[in-house]
Amino acid sequence: MSSPTDPGLHVDALRMVIDDVDIMTAAGILAWVDLGLTLVDRMLGPSVMLHTARFVLADPPRRWQSLYQEFTPRLRHGDTYIREVRALLHACLHEHHCVEHLAQTAAMHPRTFQRRFKAATGLTATQYMQAARIAKARELLELTNEPVAQISRGVGYLDVSNFRRLFQRATGVTPSEYRRRFGIAARVSRQVDLSTGQPARIRSTPSR
């Protein structure tokens, strides 16, 4: 996207580290870690960089922000019909929705519906639905132990392999890897059961 202060400057909002040979920038609260490891990689090679990352207990430089981005749809728009369609989509993520049916729900011609939906939300109806489904899947992966196949069906993807592909495209990691990083079971598995003084046992259902 273009910078508001300099129309000639283009910012890649998806990247956390930008290495443009003589100019290198990083973003985020741990930008100094990502930038430092990127410099070590350039000057001393990937082997030394990985050793350094392990030494400082850090991940290798995070290049993309997709893993941390959240779906934040536009809510403040004055199109009542589009708001009703959005509410329907969020209430029935598991169901199949085609543009023609959504347009009928809004009492619009499909082309008019597409134009108004994008004007109100910034996304096409298909893009919006996919983003909403992935956001719900991320929530379920974080907070539940439901199998990946069950989550896939619950957010409207009967083809689990297709769900995994779309999820990885959106976040940069597989659903199973996402759960390992952000799942609540991973966060509480080391907690101590105060009643027994023993590590709490978490029963989880393996992802399929």
**Where in the chain are the domains?**
1-65, 80-127
pLDDT in tens, 89-132: 999 999 999 999 999 999 999 999 999 999 999 999 999 999 99
- Per-residue pLDDT at 154 exceeds 70: yes
In this prediction the pTM is 0.62
* Predicted local confidence at residue 47, as pLDDT: 78
Let me know: does 100 contact 110? Beta carbons within 8 Å. yes
Let me know: does 73 contact 100? Beta carbons within 8 Å. no
Mean per-residue pLDDT for 176-187?
A: 78
* Predicted local confidence at residue 102, as pLDDT: 94
Percentage of the chain exceeding pLDDT 70? 71
Of 3-17, 71-85, 102-116, 182-196, the range with the lowest mean pLDDT is 182-196
* Predicted local confidence at residue 123, as pLDDT: 92
Report domain 80-127's class: mainly alpha
For residue 147, which of 185, 119, 117, 114 has the smallest C-alpha distance?
Answer: 185
- Per-residue pLDDT at 145 exceeds 50: yes
Let me know: does 140 contact 151? Beta carbons within 8 Å. yes
